[in-house]
């Protein structure tokens, strides 16, 4: 059901970090698309490489962006999502 369940466990920045090969890779992949969407809302922030590097540095303190650490954290995230989906399936609607 979208990214909301991921945000519940790891927030938007770590979601971005894990949905690519780290934050820098995510920004390289999606920078232009994000700019196009954001322009529809008015003035947009700069998506500079320097800003992406600062965010990446902070993310790598929590989850280094090498394949082994990213894979381990993705597995943890996916296990959390499966447990949450199982819990949601047992909740009775009111």
Q: What is the pLDDT of residues 50-88, one digit of tens each?
A: 999 999 999 999 999 999 999 999 999 999 999 999 998
Instruction: List the structure tokens of 7.
Output: 């945000």
CB 63 within 8 A of CB 70: yes
Count the domains in the chain: 1
pTM as predicted = 0.76
Please tell me the distance from the alpha carbon of residue 6 to that of residue 81, in angstroms, as a whole number: 7
């Amino acid at each position: 059901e979208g990214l909301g369940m991921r945000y519940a466990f790891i927030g938007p920045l770590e979601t971005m970090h894990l949905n690519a090969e780290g934050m820098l890779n995510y920004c390289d992949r999606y920078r232009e698309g994000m700019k196009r969407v954001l322009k529809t809302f008015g003035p947009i922030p700069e998506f500079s490489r320097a800003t992406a590097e600062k965010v990446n540095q902070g993310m790598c303190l929590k989850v280094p962006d090498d394949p082994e650490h990213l894979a381990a954290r993705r597995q943890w995230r996916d296990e959390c999502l499966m447990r949450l989906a199982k819990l949601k399936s047992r909740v009775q609607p009111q």
